[in-house]
Structure 1
């Protein structure tokens, strides 16, 4: 009986941890002029170990990226792959599953990275919520300037990166 209780507790904890992750992203790329440009970018993105599937919308230059379950997502690598293909990230909106995630001082952690909510939502978030990364290189200059004009973040103690996001 004791073993069963421990197993159920372990299963509950790991399920909560597995839910707290990025599930998909909508990546808009600027500079694409043809289907070959889009295909080169898609091919470059598929080499990332956390990318599961990519669907392309050529009319809006958008890639819908589905992430592999249990794999840590690195947004800087996504941006680098797009730039290596010769293009630029115009916007990146990622869906995060907030089940079991604590938000303290308008920030949450994912892996070694910290995500600061720039539009100050003190309410608790649950389920899947779309967050838009507003850092330079992930959003148009006007959007980055709007959100990042007054920030004075210091590097997190765990050595990760601070991303600034809006809901």
Structure 2
């Protein structure tokens, strides 16, 4: 999925990246000057709220296995992100620059079997389960319900049991 583009502006690669939750309206690629063959090709920089350029990632030269086409691959990371964002930069056909794409490395398993297999699901073999499995105990892993038949709160105390010392 394309999430941005970088254009050659006066000899500098400048552009933006935007997703539903990330908006980097001004990013740039700074060439890395290093003789080490394992060094990144570019640092990925972003303009922060104080209007200073800060490094948020790096990209390396890569080659597609099937076609041999060259592209750049790396990641963007920042303390505000829950995890690094893997990106790939492909030469743009329409202009002098790159299209920025991303992909999730593995299928998400935090939503159960509908979105990828979890370790729990891999342990279950058909209708048979291993001894001590949560399904043997009738436990979904979330504990006992606190909702009664009509939706009322049961088994967890009432509103009088709330801790008033909590700030929220």
TM-score of the superposition, structure 2-length normalised? Answer: 0.23
TM-score of the superposition, structure 1-length normalised? Answer: 0.24
Greater RCO between the two (CA within 8 Å, min separation 6)? 1
Structure with more strand by fraction: 2
Structure with more helix by fraction: 1
